[in-house]
Amino acid sequence: MGVIFIILLKNICFDLFIIIIKNDKFYNLNYLGIIMAPTISCFYTNYNRAPVNITFIKFENFVKIIFNDRAVILTNKQLVDNFEVFQAYVMSLLLTEDTTKIGKLVIDNTLYYGISTRRYWKSLYLTDSYTFISLQKSAHRNPLNCKEPKRESSWKKYNKFMRLFYDSIDRGNYIIGPRDLIEEYYDNETADSIHYYKKYMEYQIQTEILRAILHNYGYDIYASINQFVKI
Q: Three-state SS across 153-165?
A: CCHHHHHHHHHHH
Q: Rounded distance, CA 62 to CA 71, Å? A: 13
Q: What is the mean pLDDT of each run of 10 residues along the chain (231 residues)?
A: 42 43 45 67 81 90 91 93 86 89 89 89 76 85 89 93 81 64 68 67 79 81 74 58
Which distant-in-sequence residues (6+ apart) come within 8 Å of 2 by Cβ? Answer: 193
Q: Rounded distance, CA 112 to CA 135, Å? A: 8
Q: Rounded distance, CA 104 to CA 142, Å? A: 9
How far, rounded to the nearest angstrom, does the alpha carbon of residue 151 sit from its chain's CA centroid? 28
Can you give the residue ranges of every domain in the chain?
1-13+178-231, 36-176
Question: 35: buried, middle or exposed (CB in 10 Å: 19+, 13-18, 0-12)?
Answer: exposed
Coil, strand, or helix at residue 172?
A: coil
Q: For the packed helices 155-169 and 83-95, what is the interaxial angle rounded to 10 degrees?
A: 70
Q: Rounded distance, CA 225 to CA 66, Å? A: 65
Q: Rounded distance, CA 74 to CA 56, Å? A: 10
Helix intervals (H) in the chain? 2-10, 14-21, 76-81, 83-95, 155-169, 178-217, 219-226
